[in-house]
């Protein structure tokens, strides 16, 4: 007996698909047969992932735009085949290496201008892309929306209140959308991530004792004592995007190595 997810004939948009988790998700959806629109803020990264997918026998094209710019989103997703699967993966929680969460300091010592960047991508970007694809999903009589959030949204992280608020807002938005469009056979779910090694820090740690200690301390908070890998996420997202997940909606599924086992 074999088990197969078949997304043939479906078009998937993966935001932030030019590296890390988004790259793995794009590759997994393409391997299951979907035509993947690879979004990234940086056009060269989107093009490179689309090229990788094509080289592996899949179907993909780059679709660069800024998810926090509604006009850019609607222009990029204008006339053309509708999107059947939307993966809201783009986010801006990390430092320049994309891994360590940004600390904005104690919330009582912050000011509104420092909050805006978190809401622009992590909440409004999700809302903009969802708004852009929903009409075609409704017209087609079905679709899948999967939004990548963070365990900071579910359990809270000190000195990250604006980021946690934006991600929690995205989760609440998905639940509301799920209730609105369930009768149209559209599902809307979240996947909540713990620390994921999106830039190969675990490899760097083999020759960098300081990095190794940093990762050891991070991993000590997890039942499975390692950082997540992008491929730990992509399989679940591909399942949620498939016909097999047609009765799962309005949910937030943790992929976190056991970080929040009691939540």
Residues taking part in catalysis: 163
Kind plus residue range of the DSSP H or E element containing 148: strand 143-150
Q: H helices within 110-221, ranges in order? A: 116-119, 126-140, 151-155, 161-181, 201-204, 209-219
Q: H helices within 159-208, ranges in order? A: 161-181, 201-204
Sequence-distant (≥ 6) Cβ neighbours of residue 47 within 8 angstroms: 38, 62, 64
Q: Coil, strand or helix: which one is 179?
A: helix
Q: Coil, strand or helix: which one is 24?
A: helix
> Both tokens of residue 108?
């009582």
Which among 131, 129, 254, 134 has a CA at the least distance from the CA of 187?
134
C-beta neighbour count of 243 within 10 angstroms: 11
End-to-end CA separation in angstroms for the chain:
35
Backbone angles phi, psi at 28, to 5 degrees: -65, -45
How far apart, in whole angstroms, are the C-alpha atoms of residue 215 and residue 227?
8
Partners of 18 in beta bridges: none
DSSP state of 228: B
């Amino acid at each position: 007996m074999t088990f197969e997810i078949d997304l043939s004939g479906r078009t998937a948009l993966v935001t932030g698909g030019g590296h890390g988790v988004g790259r793995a998700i794009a590759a997994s959806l393409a391997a299951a047969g979907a035509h993947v629109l690879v979004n990234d803020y940086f056009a060269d990264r989107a093009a490179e992932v689309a090229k990788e997918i094509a080289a592996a026998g899949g179907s993909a094209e780059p679709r660069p735009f800024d998810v926090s710019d509604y006009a850019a989103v609607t222009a990029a997703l204008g006339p053309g085949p509708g999107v059947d699967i939307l993966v809201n993966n783009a986010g801006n929680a990390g430092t320049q290496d994309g891994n360590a969460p940004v600390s904005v300091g104690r919330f009582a010592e912050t000011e509104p201008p420092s909050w805006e960047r978190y809401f622009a991508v992590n909440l409004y970007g999700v809302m903009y892309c969802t708004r852009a694809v929903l009409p075609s999903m409704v017209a087609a009589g079905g679709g899948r929306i999967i939004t990548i959030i963070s365990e900071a949204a579910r359990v809270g992280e000190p000195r990250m209140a604006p980021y946690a608020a934006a991600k929690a807002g995205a989760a609440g938005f998905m639940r509301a959308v799920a209730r609105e469009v369930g009768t149209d056979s559209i599902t809307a779910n979240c996947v909540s991530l713990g620390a994921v090694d999106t830039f190969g820090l675990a490899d760097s740690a083999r020759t960098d004792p300081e990095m190794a200690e940093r990762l050891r301390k991070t991993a000590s908070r997890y039942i499975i004592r390692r950082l997540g890998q992008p491929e730990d996420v992509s399989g679940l997202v591909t399942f949620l995007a498939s016909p097999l997940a047609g009765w799962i909606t309005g949910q937030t599924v943790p992929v976190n190595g056991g970080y929040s086992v009691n939540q």
